Every structure is written in C-alpha cells, then in structure tokens.
Amino acid sequence: MQLPMQIKDKIAVVTGAARGIGFAVAARLAKSGARAVALVDSAPEADCEKAAGEINRAAGAEVARVFRGDVCDAAFRAEVFSRMEKEHKDCARICVPAAGILRDAMSVKIGRENGDAQIYDEELFRRVLEVNLLHPVYWAMQMTARIAELRHRAGAKKWRTDEPLQGACVFIGSVSSRGNRGQISYASAKSALSAAAKTLNLEGMFHGVQTKILHPGLVDTPMAAQIPEEQLEKYLLPQISIGRLIAPEEVADAAAMLIESPAVSGPLWIDGGMRPMA
C-alpha cells in the first residue's frame, strides 16, 4: 500500500506566516509534529517574533524560525530553502505560500466631475499578480527543485508508486477565483493559480511532489477586518450558508488534510457554502 505524506518530522515553509491564514497553517503544522517551520513574512520583526514565540510555546520546542523579506525576491526565496536545508539536514518537504495582498477597485470607473473613464492601474495589477500568482508558483517550484536535486544525487529517477510521497505544496486560492466585482486583479490571480496548481501537480509527480489548492471564502483575518461592518452584515454574511466567517484554523485543518491525503487532489472549497457573488 502506498505510504501517505506525513507532516510529522518534515521541514515546512509557510509564507505570510505572521498572521491570518499563514499563521494558522504554520501553527497547525507545528502541532502535527513538523520538525521545523520557516515563518516567512515582510511584517515588522516584533510581529514575526511574536508569531514564532506563540508557536514554539504551544509546541514546547523551537520549531518556528523567522525569515523576514519580500516573498517576490528570488534571492531571498532561495536563501530560505538553503538555510532550512543546511540547518535541518533535509530539504523542505512542505510548502504553503499563503502571503497575499488585495488592491481592490473597479476595472473601469467614470469620474464624477469630468466624466472621463478611469482604468484600473496597470502597476497595481502587476503587483497583485506578482504576489498572489508568481510568488506561490515560484516557492512551489523552488521546493520541488530541491527535492528533485536530492533524488538525482541519490540515483533516483521517476517517482514510483511504491515510494512515499516526497513533498506537498498547498496554494491558498479564493472564492474570488470565480470572478468578483471590484477585484479584477485579485480574481484573475487566484483563477490562474488554480491552473498553475494543476500543472505543477501533473509535472511534480515525476519527482513525487503534489501541488494542490484550496479556496477559502471570507476568513476572519486582518484582511477581512478591512471590510466595513455594515457591508459585511448586509451584503456578505447573508451569502454564506453557515452565517459566519471561516476561522483561519478551519483553513489550516483543510491544508493539513490536503498535505497528508494523496488521493485528494483539489481544488477544495472552504467557503461555508458561500454562493457565487454577482
């Protein structure tokens, strides 16, 4: 019987790990016995160290390790994987690139004063794609590349079904991937991320690495806290069958399940029965 992927004793890398979904995922991995978890974030040092401290106290060991930097920087990305591998004598086998940004605005808007059409800012669009699409794809590929190199050096070729799975990456998508008013850049990035996950999963299985995606709905994070309470109560919560925001820990549990369940390829919707938004 094929051995499932195990979180226990694995090296993990989580981006956006200082708060929200990223923090919940990192804490869940530590709770499940991960040997080490890289907490990657650009947040202030105090916030990152606080997150690491909470995880380490709960684990009763120095599991979490902070890396502060820009997740879109290739040199920083390579450094994180190299330092984790050097310190723990194995490459990262789990990657959850959870960092993301919102830069919401209508795609075309008529100015009230002059009637001129304003088009969504092109540089903002590129930045949203860079953080929400390119960043997760390249962190996933970096992990797969490390695993592939180790296997090559060991004389291994194509992964065999009687071998344990070698690694797992979980992307954080969004219900906005179905399209959402006012989110032309974010929805585009999250939709494209689904295709990227499928492609990387097909290619990565040559090396025994699975890539999957889950799509959260409205999650109780600092990002959701930016939504005006009146808008949330009047327009958004009525669209959610369970009548509340999703807890970050619920998303983390789903991510852990995707990591450890080889038969579940995704996408997985963690939306509380949220109906598609007009």
Q: Which domains does the chain have, with CATH numbers?
A: 11-268 (3.40.50.720)
**H helices within the chain, ranges in order?**
20-31, 45-59, 74-88, 122-129, 135-153, 184-204, 229-231, 248-260
In angstroms, the CA 232 to CA 41 distance is: 28
pLDDT per residue over 150-183, tens digit each? Answer: 999 999 999 999 999 999 999 999 999 998 889 9
Structure confidence at residue 204 (pLDDT)? 97
State in Å, rounded, how far the first CA of the chain is from the last one: 46
Angle at CA 12, nearest 5°, toward 7 and 16?
125
pLDDT per residue over 125-153, tens digit each? Answer: 999 999 999 999 999 999 999 999 999 99
